[in-house]
Amino acid sequence: KQEVTQIPAALSVPEGENLVLNCSFTDSAIYNLQWFRQDPGKGLTSLLLIQSSQREQTSGRLNASLDKSSGRSTLYIAASQPGDSATYLCAVKDAGGTSYGKLTFGQGTILTVHP
Amino acid sequence: EAQVTQNPRYLITVTGKKLTVTCSQNMNHEYMSWYRQDPGLGLRQIYYSMNVEVTDKGDVPEGYKVSRKEKRNFPLILESPSPNQTSLYFCASSLSAGGDYGYTFGSGTRLTVV
């Protein structure tokens, strides 16, 4: 059974810092991995999608990497801003025919960027 | 705008009173799914639908029903809600079950059962 772990559980940084959020998964047979952002009282916003054949994806100040063999992904946020404060969730879509589209989520990292 | 729309956003109800949470997507997605999010447990899949008239249970289906009569709609039905169904619910859709282009989530429905 796939399990996804995110470290750290919470992170507080001053504005302008570069930071890394970590995601690990127990079964390396994944189809893809998606990073989401969740703001309080709001839904999940997709940030980056990495297919199993890819090593990284970039969008603006965000860069996500994937090392499937070691079961790890990192989300790098450059020059953090107070508006980046949110909960960041990592979700894995397993390969194989029995997952039927299910995403397995980590518990999330609560990020606070203070001015 | 491509989106998944859930209604209502907030709902307080009493134990045993049947309710339906609606979900609609405008992206012609084949695959739709419901998740619930609880503190300490994260997001867990309730039900999913591969296509019209094709639905199946996820990890926590007890106490819920779904239907998929049209491609765009996937309502979640609680026939006799109980307090342990108090949670934040999310509907999601994808072009296919493979999630090749990722998943789009709705804004969530916060349900409280008293």
pLDDT in tens, A10-47: 999 999 999 999 999 999 999 999 999 999 878 899 99
Indicate whether B101 pLDDT > 90: no
Percent of chain B scoring above 90 in pLDDT = 88
The arithmetic mean of pLDDT across residues B85-106, rounded, is: 90
**B11-49 residue pLDDT tens:** 999 999 999 999 999 999 999 999 999 998 999 999 999
Indicate whether B85 pLDDT > 80: yes
- pLDDT given at position A102: 87
Q: Radius of gyration (Cα) for chain A, nearest Å?
A: 14
Minimal Cα–Cα distance from B79 to chain A, Å?
24
- pLDDT given at position B91: 97
Percent of chain A scoring above 90 in pLDDT = 86
- In chain B, residues with a C-beta closer than 8 Å to the C-beta of A97 are none
Minimal Cα–Cα distance from B8 to chain A, Å?
13
The answer to whether A9 faces chain B, any CB pair under 8 Å, is no
For B92, name the nearest residue in chain A, comparing CA atoms only. A44
* Cβ contacts of B86 within 8 Å, gap of 6 or more: B111, B112, B113
Residue B100 is which amino acid? D
- pLDDT given at position A99: 62
Pairing of strands A109-114, B31-38: unpaired
Torsion angle, CA of B75/A87/A61/A70, rounded to 10 degrees?
-90
Which among B84, B80, B41 has a CA at the least distance from the CA of B64?
Answer: B80
Reported in sequence order, the residue ranges of B1-114 that DSSP labels E, i.e. its strands, are 4-7, 10-13, 19-25, 31-38, 42-51, 54-57, 65-66, 76-78, 87-94, 104-105, 109-113
Q: How far is it, in rounded angstroms, from Cα B105 to Cα B2? A: 11
Indicate whether A52 pLDDT > 70: yes
Minimal Cα–Cα distance from A5 to chain B, Å?
11
Mean pLDDT of chain B: 94
Contact B107 A36 (CB under 8 A): no
Interface of A with B in 35-94 (CB under 8 A): 36, 41-46, 49, 51, 89, 91, 93
Residue B105 is which amino acid? F
Q: How far is it, in rounded angstroms, from Cα B78 to Cα A58? A: 40
The answer to whether B2 faces chain A, any CB pair under 8 Å, is no
- pLDDT given at position A85: 97
Indicate whether B3 pLDDT > 70: yes
- In chain A, residues with a C-beta closer than 8 Å to the C-beta of B58 are 102
Residue A8: both structure tokens together: 């750290």
Contact B90 A51 (CB under 8 A): no
Closest partner residue to B102 (CB to CB) among A42, A43, A46 is: A46
Closest partner residue to B97 (CB to CB) among A36, A44, A100 is: A100
- pLDDT given at position A97: 62
Percent of chain B scoring above 70 in pLDDT = 100
Contact A100 B99 (CB under 8 A): no
